[in-house]
């Protein structure tokens, strides 16, 4: 007889938690939110969370942003959720129900690698298990989120072979044809969506759930370093146990190796242009600055780093994003001949030879001889200030590029009309072209913008190398002086990246360095020169 399939969202909490102390893992715990139910012989808690009553959000938007206030009697909405906490092998699992269930869990006690590692290990152990789909992040190109959906199920080895360098799997959908406990699971970071199998006589399933959770825990506990490396190419995160020593050293490292750390927005593609101010504690700042934070908190413990909040405010001083200091802290350290990266509150391991190769490649292309005179910078600042009186959302980069092209007697290509088409592929040549130097310019908003910058220079140069005559013809249309036309036989051509930086440090995260180093190797193999210059005091 076919078994019943029940889908549950399962989260594993960190070790050394006691279910008898729910205040240590339940956010804002209150005993009167516990729900009485038949637990049998199991140690478990059923905990509810109720949201406040309010008019639907669309009604508020209609009143405030579209038609103005009006009398209304729309029924109020109330969100709700429940979490089932259950003890298994001295560990605690949390199973969420409803829209608010996941907010019952203190996010600092979640075992973040449980979902993806367990799904991957099941795939490695079960010869009948196959991959239905995979979602990943490639830290090389734009960066790119990749969704793979397979018409036929494939093996783990086939997936790994198709992955790019520095690609990290973020979600894995696995189907098992042999397991008596689960037929399908979707492993993510933090959570595991599992399709459990039960006999008809085991419904309701609560009393029969513990042994199946125990088998999931056994799978997770058996994960090896080799298993983990099948999820990542080139860089992979440490689990909470492996991170303990690094976390313990972190407060001291901040004091003795301040230059190795800085604060940044941890979401690689976060739109920082929405932020009007940054609030840490009671202070407002224009940028994320570790030195500013340490001046107020000279010796923060690891717990304080995890608890102190960074609030991103819009022009109305509303909080539009919130992260902890730990989540915003980026750093690079070396221990026992291995390099570790702290990013987004997680530690990543990078082999020393790869770390050294990438760091050396970046250092080699830094060009400090290309200098923009102070008088030109002053002219740019005045032009920006004047333009802002007319339009608060001006394109500052375009103003910079216009003045740069005039100063070096180059040609401005930072215009939509000067993009070129090659075989139905439309792209930007560069921002400023001067002789054989292609300048690509971006303000340092964050990792996503910089990755786009590096890719922009690569795409243009690659097209020049592959379709030299067609490329030169298309570009030369926009160069009136024939003496300055691009050659149909390029020689000594330079791709020059300019990063306009108003932060207190010239800095790239290792993920941005990986994206750039990949482009450096490819461009140099195509016989292009590559340079990188930081430009300060612009805005």
Give residue-wise pLDDT tens across range 93-109. Answer: 999 999 889 999 998 89
State yes or no: pLDDT of 77 exceeds 60. Answer: yes
Least confident of 34-43, 118-127, 132-141: 132-141
Phi, psi of 382, deg, nearest 5: -65, -40
Mean pLDDT of 376-386: 91
State yes or no: pLDDT of 145 exceeds 50. Answer: no
Of 357, 287, 350, 275, residue with least CA distance to 317: 275
pLDDT band for 147, please (50, 70, 90 cuts): very low
Angle (CA) 466-415-483 rounded to 5° is 60
Residue 144 has a pLDDT of 40
Query: CB of 17 within 8 A of CB of 29?
Result: no
Report the C-alpha gap between 308 and 278 in whole angstroms. Answer: 13
Residue 190 has a pLDDT of 82
DSSP state for residue 287 in the 8-state scheme: S
User: Could you count the other beta carbons within 10 Å of the beta carbon of residue 250?
Assistant: 21
Least confident of 1-10, 105-114, 243-252, 266-275: 266-275
State yes or no: pLDDT of 217 exceeds 60. Answer: yes
Instruction: Name every residue whose Cβ is closer than 8 Å to that of residue 416 and which is 6 or more positions away in sequence.
Output: none
Residue in the structure block whose two tokens are 């990755």? 451
Of 255, 248, 325, residue with least CA distance to 283: 325
What's the Cα-to-Cα distance from 364 to each of 280, 509, 520, rounded to whole Å?
A: 37, 17, 10
State yes or no: pLDDT of 150 exceeds 50. Answer: no
Paired tokens of 55: 């008019």
State yes or no: pLDDT of 227 exceeds 60. Answer: yes
State yes or no: pLDDT of 363 exceeds 90. Answer: yes
Buried b (16+ CB within 10 A) or exposed e, 172-199: bbbbbeebebbbbbbbbbbbbbbbbbbe
State yes or no: pLDDT of 537 exceeds 80. Answer: no
Residue 181 has a pLDDT of 92
Least confident of 55-59, 428-432, 435-439, 533-537: 55-59
| Cis status, amide bond into 143, omega within 30 of 0 | yes
State yes or no: pLDDT of 234 exceeds 60. Answer: yes
Residue 137 pairs in a beta bridge with: 145, 168
Report the C-alpha gap between 480 and 462 in whole angstroms. Answer: 24
DSSP H helix total and E strand total for the chain? 15, 25
Residue in the structure block whose two tokens are 């190796």? 257
Report the C-alpha gap between 442 and 395 in whole angstroms. Answer: 11
State yes or no: pLDDT of 296 exceeds 50. Answer: yes
Q: Would you state the torsion angle of the CA atoms of residues 207, 32, 20, 27, taken in this order, to the nearest 10 degrees?
A: 100
Report the C-alpha gap between 340 and 333 in whole angstroms. Answer: 5
Give residue-wise pLDDT tens across range 409-457. Answer: 999 999 888 999 888 788 999 999 998 999 999 986 566 678 789 989 9
Buried b (16+ CB within 10 A) or exposed e, 476-494: bebbeeeeeebeeebeebb
State yes or no: pLDDT of 269 exceeds 60. Answer: no
Query: 141-150, 234-243, 378-387, 401-410: which has the highest mean pLDDT?
Result: 401-410
Mean pLDDT of 397-402: 93
State yes or no: pLDDT of 215 exceeds 90. Answer: yes
Centroid of chain to Cα 14: 23
Give residue-wise pLDDT tens across range 513-523. Answer: 888 998 999 99
pTM: 0.69
Report the C-alpha gap between 457 and 526 in whole angstroms. Answer: 13
pLDDT band for 367, please (50, 70, 90 cuts): very high
Question: What is the helix (H) or strand (E) element at residue 132, kind and residue range?
Answer: strand 130-138
Give residue-wise pLDDT tens across range 453-476. Answer: 998 999 999 999 999 999 999 999
Q: What is the mean pLDDT of the chain?
A: 86
Mean pLDDT of 241-258: 89
DSSP state for residue 300 in the 8-state scheme: -
3-state SS of 14-31? CCCCCCCCHHHCECCCCH
Mean pLDDT of 332-342: 89
State yes or no: pLDDT of 350 exceeds 90. Answer: no
**What proportion of the chain, given as a percentage, has pLDDT over 90?**
47
Q: Would you state the torsion angle of the CA atoms of residues 401, 403, 406, 410, taken in this order, to the nearest 10 degrees?
A: -20
Per DSSP, the three-state class of 517 is helix
Residue 78 pairs in a beta bridge with: none
Paired tokens of 349: 């391991």
Residue 235 has a pLDDT of 73
């Amino acid at each position: 007889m076919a078994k019943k399939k029940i889908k549950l969202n399962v989260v594993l909490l960190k070790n050394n938690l006691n279910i008898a102390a729910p205040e240590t893992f339940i956010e804002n715990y209150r005993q009167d939110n516990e729900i009485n139910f038949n637990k049998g012989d199991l140690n478990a808690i059923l905990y509810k969370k109720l949201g406040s009553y309010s008019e639907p959000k669309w009604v508020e938007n209609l009143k405030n942003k579209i038609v103005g206030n009006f009398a209304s009697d729309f029924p109020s909405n109330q969100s709700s959720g429940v979490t089932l906490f259950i003890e298994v092998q001295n560990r605690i699992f949390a199973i969420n129900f409803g829209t608010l269930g996941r907010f019952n869990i203190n996010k600092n006690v979640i075992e973040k690698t449980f979902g993806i590692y367990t799904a991957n290990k099941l795939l490695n152990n079960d010869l009948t298990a196959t991959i239905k789909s995979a979602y990943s992040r490639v830290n090389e190109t734009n960066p790119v989120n990749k969704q793979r959906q397979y018409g036929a199920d494939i093996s783990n080895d086939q997936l790994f072979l198709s992955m790019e360098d520095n690609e990290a799997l973020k979600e894995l959908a696995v189907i098992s044809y042999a397991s008596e406990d689960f037929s399908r699971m979707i492993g993510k970071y933090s959570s595991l969506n599992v399709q459990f199998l039960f006999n008809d006589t085991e419904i309701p399933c609560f009393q029969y759930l513990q042994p199946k959770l125990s088998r999931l825990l056994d799978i997770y506990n058996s994960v090896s370093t080799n298993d983990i490396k099948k999820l990542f190419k080139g860089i992979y995160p440490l689990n909470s146990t492996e991170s303990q020593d690094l976390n313990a050293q972190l407060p001291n490292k901040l004091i003795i190796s301040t230059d190795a750390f800085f604060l940044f927005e941890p979401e690689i593609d976060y739109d920082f242009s929405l932020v009007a101010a940054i609030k840490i504690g009671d202070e407002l700042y224009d940028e994320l600055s570790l030195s500013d934070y340490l001046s107020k908190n000279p010796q923060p413990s690891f717990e304080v780093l995890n608890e102190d909040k960074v609030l991103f405010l819009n022009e109305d001083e509303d909080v539009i994003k919130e992260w902890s200091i730990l989540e915003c802290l980026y750093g690079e350290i070396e221990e026992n001949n291995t390099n570790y990266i702290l990013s987004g509150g997680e530690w990543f391991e990078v082999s020393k030879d790869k770390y050294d190769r990438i760091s050396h490649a970046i250092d080699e292309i830094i060009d400090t001889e290309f200098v923009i005179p102070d008088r030109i910078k002053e002219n740019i600042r005045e032009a920006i200030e004047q333009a802002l009186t007319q339009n608060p959302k001006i394109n500052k980069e375009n103003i910079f590029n216009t003045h740069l092209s005039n100063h070096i007697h180059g040609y401005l290509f930072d215009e939509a009309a000067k993009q070129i088409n090659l075989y139905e592929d439309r792209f930007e040549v560069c921002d400023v072209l001067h002789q054989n130097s292609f300048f690509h310019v971006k303000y340092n908003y964050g990792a996503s913008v910089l990755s786009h910058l590096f890719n922009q220079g690569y795409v243009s140069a690659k097209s020049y190398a592959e379709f030299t005559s067609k490329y030169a013809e298309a570009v030369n249309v926009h160069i009136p002086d024939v003496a300055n036309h691009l050659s149909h036989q390029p020689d000594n051509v330079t791709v020059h990246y300019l990063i306009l930086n108003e932060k207190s440090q010239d800095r790239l995260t290792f993920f941005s360095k990986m994206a750039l180093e990949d482009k450096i190797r490819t461009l140099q193999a195509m016989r292009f020169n590559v340079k990188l210059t930081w430009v300060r005091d612009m805005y």
